Amino acid sequence: MSRERPIRVDCLQYANWSEKVFRQMREGGVDGVHVTIAYHENFRETVQNIEQWNRWFERYPNLIFLGRTGDDLTLARETNRTAIFFGFQNPSPIEDDIGLIEVLHTLGARFMQLSYNNQSLLATGCYEAQDPGITRMGRQVIKEMNRVGLVVDMSHSAERSTLEAIEISERPIAITHANPSFWHPALRNKSNDLLRALGQSGGMLGFSVYPHHLNDGSDCTLESFCQMIAKTAELMGLERIGIGTDLCQDQPDSVVEWMRVGRWTKEIDYGEGSKNSPGFPEMPVWFQDNRDFNTIESGLLAVGFSSNEVARIMGENWRTFFDQSFGPADRQINMLDRTAAE
Residue 79, pLDDT score: 97
Q: Is residue 2 part of a domain?
A: no
Q: Is residue 4 part of a domain?
A: no
Total domains, the chain: 1
Q: Is residue 310 part of a domain?
A: yes
E strand or H helix at 175? strand 174-178
Q: Is residue 42 part of a domain?
A: yes
Q: What is the mean pLDDT of residues 333-338?
A: 54
Residue 104, pLDDT score: 99
Q: Specify the higher pLDDT residue, 273 or 244.
A: 244
pLDDT band at residue 272 using 50, 70 and 90 as cut-offs: confident
Q: Is residue 3 part of a domain?
A: no
**Among 100, 106, 85, 94, residue whose Cα is nearest residue 31:** 85
Answer positive or negative: Cα dihedral of 278, 95, 101, 151.
positive
140 lies in which domain range?
9-341
- The amino acid occupying position 87 is G
The enclosing domain of 214 has a CATH number of 3.20.20.140
Q: Is residue 120 part of a domain?
A: yes
pLDDT tens figures, 162-205? 999 999 999 999 999 999 999 999 999 999 999 999 999 999 99
Q: Is residue 188 part of a domain?
A: yes
Q: What is the pTM of this model?
A: 0.93
Q: Is residue 180 part of a domain?
A: yes
Helix (H, G, I), strand (E, B) or coil at 84: strand
pLDDT tens figures, 67-100? 999 999 999 999 999 999 999 999 999 999 999 9
CA–CA dist 173, 167 (Å, integer): 10
